[in-house]
Each structure stands twice: as C-alpha cells, then as structure tokens.
A and B are shown apart, each in its own frame.
Chain A
Amino acid sequence: MKSARKTAKAAAAAIAEPGPREDDRARSLVTPEGVDLKLRLGDAGERAAALLIDLAIMLGVLIAFALLALLAMIGSKGKGWEVIGTAALLVFFVLRNLYFVLFELTPGAATPGKRAMGLRVAARNGGRLTADAIFARNAMREIELYLPLSFLASNGDQVGAWVNLAGLVWCGVFVLFPLFNRDRLRVGDLVAGTWVVKAPTRKLAPDLVETSRPSVGRFKFTMAQLDAYGVKELHVLEDVLRRYEIKTIALVAARIRLKIGWQAAPDESDGDFLAAYYAALRGRLESRLLLGKRRKDKHDKS
C-alpha cells in the first residue's frame, strides 16, 4: 500500500515536473547494419545476485553429489572408493573451474544465475564472444572470488590472522574493482574484453491507443490543451496507464485536468479521460515528429 502511494506521488510529480531522466548505464552498440541497439549494463546488485544464485547452485550440486557418493560407498561396501574418489575430484574441479565457462559458452552466454537476473556476457567491441575470452574472464575468478573466500575460511593463530587480514584487504582491490569503473567491469571483464549487459525478454504490450478505442470519441481536446505536454510527460503517462493503479490514475488525472483546464463531465471516469488524453497527445506529438519536431518535454517551446 505504501509503495503504491509512493509510485502514485512519484508519477504525479513526474507529470508536474519531470526530472532529468539520466541513463548512465546505457552503452551504444552499433550493429553492422548501422543501428544502435543501446545496450544497458547490468548493475552491481544484479550481478552480485546472479553470483549468489550460481554459488548456491554449485553448493547444491556438491551436497547432492556428496550424498550420492556416500550412498554408493555404502552400497559397494567401500570397494568403489577409487571410482568415487576420482569422480569427486573431477566434479569439484569442473564446478570450480568450468561451471561458468561451460554455461557462458551456450548461445545465451549466461550462467543460470545471470539468466535469472536477465543478464548476459557480451564482447565490449561488439564482435562475437569467443571461447578464449570466456575462459579468460572466468580464470580471473581465482583471485576475485576463490582467493578472498579462502582467506575468509582459513583460521590460524595470531600472526596468521593478521596475514589473513592483510591478504583480504589486498584481495578487496580485485573484489571491489567493478564498483570503481564506469562500465562495471570486474577484473575478468577487463582481461577478457567483455562486459555484462541486460538482455531482458520483453513481451509486446498492447498498444494503449488500441485499448482506449471505444471511449476516445467522447473527448475533444483543443490544440492548446494538447500542447501542454511533451514526449517525456507522454512516456510517464504511458507508464501510469500500463500499471493502472487506481490511486495513481486519480492523482494524475486530477493534475492534468488542472493543467489543461478540463471540466470533467459528471459520469467521466479518470481512466477513460487519461486514455483519451494519451491517444490525443500521442497523435499530436507524433504528427509533429513527422515534421521533424520532437518536443522533448513541456518546457520545450519549439
């Protein structure tokens, strides 16, 4: 309830006074066809979450394997130790060194954790992601992940503890590396020439103009009323309509009526009003767009 009110306030405020919608995580990737795909980088939180998911999966596999090995050991009355021991060593090795590599070699270029967070690995130069790059970026996990973990896990005497602390601080440079560069590169990304970008799978949402069709005819807006807002406000309005939270709708509708001086009819619903205004505003702004005039926001006097 609280968050709904917050978004309602934020949306209403955005309609009233849209702040700069900066996007410092957008990066351009121009395809050979000459279109900029405008990739977005994964942020530190998403990547940490992806790593935790992957570590949890690895731990789960290890536990499952340990149980299986124990059963096999009991079943074979200890005779199968050679096969089980070899398998254990190899499973551990593959998990530690090849888990990330093998998953990132698939067409999705993402481990299960990254996939869950909607991330994927990509080459920074826009070219194809090569196997050597994937190997390089994951070999560096040795100093970014496993070395700090081993410092954390080891416990020794007084001197050992100080040495561990010093080691941990030293490793911290590698661990926190992504936080100190613009592209959120970790050491492995730097060495391999890769970065981690968002690759969300979006569904095609219905066109709001289409859904608002039946009621639009009732509303007639004047040119002056349609010139009250620009593209930025249109997009906020679209967002509000797609979410369709009753409180937000009411707030925003009241705000827009006030701004354009609209007298509401007694049986007029807020949702219908907003949908109609959205369709009319988009029509107006798009027709101006065709003439080469993109009105950025309501302050844009062009």
Chain B
Amino acid sequence: MAELHLKSYRFRAEREDDWRRLEKLLTKVGKGSPRALSDEELLAMPVLYRQALSSLSVARATSLDQGLVDYLESLSTRAYFLVYGTRSNLVERVGGFFARAWPEAAKALWRETLASFLLTLAGVLAAYFLTLHDPDWFSAFVPDGLANGRGPTASVEAMRATLYDKGKHDGLSVFAAFLFTHNSGVAIFAFALGFAFCLPTAMLMAYNGAMLGAFLAVFGMRGLGFEAGGWLAIHGVTEISAVILAGAAGLRIGWTLAFPGDLSRPAAMAQAGRQSATLMAGVVVMLFCAGILEGVGRQVIQNDFARYGVALATLVAWPAYLYLPRRQSSRGGSVA
C-alpha cells in the first residue's frame, strides 16, 4: 500500500484546509476591495500567507507532486502581492503627493528645470528678435491654425480684438476642458519624448518658446505689448511653467538613460522615471488650473490690470509652493 507511506500525501491532507481558506480570502479581495474583508479575516491573512509560504518550501523539498507545487506557487504569489502590495488609501496617497512628493520631485529636478527654462527662454528671445527684424519669420514659428488671423499683416484693430472677448460667455467649460486635455496630452508627450536621449524634448521646449516669442513680437510692434502680456500671462505663467516642468521631467529620463551615474542603468532609470512621473502628475494638476484660468478666467476678466494681478499671484504661488524649504516630515519617502 504505497499511498500510506507517501509523506507528501499526508502533508497535503493536513494543510489543505488552510490553503483553501487563504484562497477564498484572495478571491474575495480580487472581487472587491481590501475592505471586503472583516477585521478577523484581515488579521488571519498574513498568518495564512506565511503558512502557505512554508508549505511551499516544504513541498518543493519533499513533494514530487508538480500540481501541488504549482498550486502553492500561485497561491503564495497572489498572497504576496496582497500582503506586500499597496496599503495606503486614496486620501492618504493624494495628501502625501501634495504635501511631500510633488515639491520634493520638483526640487530634485532643479537642474533639468533650469535647462528646460533656458531652452524656452532662448526660443523666446530668438523668435522675438527675428520677428521684430523681419516679420516674415512669424509664419515660420507659428502654424496658421494657431495664428488664427493674427500676424504681421493684420490691422491693429483686428489684433486688439483678439485680446478681448466682447461676446457672451458661451461654452467656456468646453474651451477650458479642451485646453486642459490638449495641453496635458502635449506635456505627457514631451515627457515621453525625453526617452530619446533628451533631443526631441529639448527641441520641443525651444520651439514652444519660439512660438511665444513670435506672438509677443507681432503684438509688440503694434504697441500692444502690454495688453498682449496680460492676455497671455493670466494663464501663461501657470501653463508655461507646467510645460517647462514637463520638459525637465523628460530631460531627466533621457539624461539618465545616457549617463546613469553610479547605479546600474535599469536601476537609475527606474529611480529617475518614478521621480519624473511624480513631477508629471503635478504638471497635469497645473495644466488643469491653467485650463480653467485660460478657458474661463481670461474670458470673464477683461481688465488688463486684473489679468496682471492674477498672473502675479500665480507667479508667486507656484514657486513658493514648489521650492520653499519646508519642515522635513518624519515619514519621508516617495508617494506610495
């Protein structure tokens, strides 16, 4: 009677109930959230998990039943991911993101942010002076679709009319939603492009600056510089800062891919990627604010000084939030 002597058979018979209990709990969590478990079940989970793990070790060493070992591997893996998986809830995560992770990421990427800013500035200056010198450059920097009738050949009155909205405020939420989704898409794209060794992102930053410079130049040469500044800055401070930060995040991953430093390349990439991703989540938040400021705020606020006031407030608030030193929290670490 061979089966009476099989230790692996008895081993399984003695522990099978615990395994099945763990499996049932895992299935329950898989269908709902971890909150689907009662307190008692929640406490039992780690114990059952460790039992399954030790069963797996024993089974690997003593049992030649491949079906059993496969089952225990699958069970232990599922339990492992649950026990050591994410534990904090959504509110904690979002709170940790705004309180620590985002400003920390922004500070950690200050070099890239500076580079991204300088690239944009170079684009602005080059396009500004080129367009002032020869207005034909405008069409080279600004695509026709975006120019929307503005340009070196338009009359002063027509140019002024584009800065103020005298009509009814119809469809502002659509406009804001369009601006937010479009700009976020572009920002995430700029970030992802950084993977190609920074170059596409750097070009995008310079080009973005060039469009801005060309716009300012055509308004500036009509003596509308001040008004155009208010029209642009009310949302532009937030939007352009966000784009610069997105560029910085892209530059970080491209730079790390080329020069991983002390860590191995995959490890360095993972670290850089996570940090940049945190910053990118912040960029999306900023672009959401910018979308509302541009889509709604600029249409409702028609006074130049009020527009400059809002712009100034954002110009102070964002850097203060991101870069001012703050008390080190004891918890530290990245957002989990």
Contacts and interface: CB of A to CB of B under 8 A. Distances in A.
B331 to A, nearest CB: 14
Contacts of A109: 81, 85
A127 B270 CA distance: 13
A242 B65 CA distance: 11
A118 to B, nearest CB: 10
Interface string B240-268: 00000000000001000000000000110
B314 interface: no
Given A97-B185, A107-B34, A136-B277, A204 B20 contact: yes
Contacts of B276: 136
Looking at chain A's contact residues, is the secondary structure mostly helix, strand, loop, or mixed?
A: helix
A301 B185 CA distance: 64
A135 B1 contact: no
A132 B81 contact: no
Q: Which DSSP category, helix, strand, loop or mixed, fits chain B's interface? A: helix
Interface residues of B, number: 85
B288 to A, nearest CB: 11
Interface in A198-239: 199-205, 207-210, 212-213, 216-217, 231, 234-235, 238-239
Contacts of B86: 105, 107, 128-131
Interface in A241-273: 242
A174 B195 contact: yes
B62 A107 contact: no
A93 B64 contact: no
B184 interface: yes
Contacts of A9: none
Contact of B3 (A139, A147, A187, A216): A216
Interface string B174-201: 1011101100110011011101100000
A96 B273 CA distance: 20
Contact of A279 (B3, B50, B62, B336): B3
A133 B86 CA distance: 12
A191 B268 CA distance: 9
B41 to A, nearest CB: 15
A205 B336 contact: no
B67 A238 contact: yes
B270 A202 contact: no
Interface string B272-295: 111111101100000000000000
A85 B53 contact: no
Which among B57, B63, B66, B185 has the highest number of chain A CB atoms within 10 Å? Answer: B66
A194 B278 CA distance: 16
A283 B177 contact: no
B85 A86 contact: no
Q: Which of B6, B7, B195, B269 has the most CB of A within 10 A?
A: B195
Interface stretch (A11-19, A68-76, A155-163, A284-292): A284-292
A204 B33 CA distance: 24
Contacts of B85: 107, 109, 128-129
B77 A132 contact: no
B2 A193 contact: no
A93 B9 contact: no
A193 B181 contact: no
Given A204-B19, A242-B67, A193 B78 contact: no
Interface in B164-221: 170-171, 173-174, 176-178, 180-181, 184-185, 188-189, 191-193, 195-196
B80 interface: yes
B76 interface: yes
A130 B176 CA distance: 31
5 contacts: A35-B57, A81-B174, A108-B30, A190-B269, A209-B9
Given A131-B93, A140-B192, A190-B273, 14 more contacts: A29-B80, A35-B56, A37-B76, A37-B80, A93-B184, A127-B84, A139-B191, A142-B188, A191-B253, A192-B277, A203-B71, A204-B67, A209-B2, A242-B67
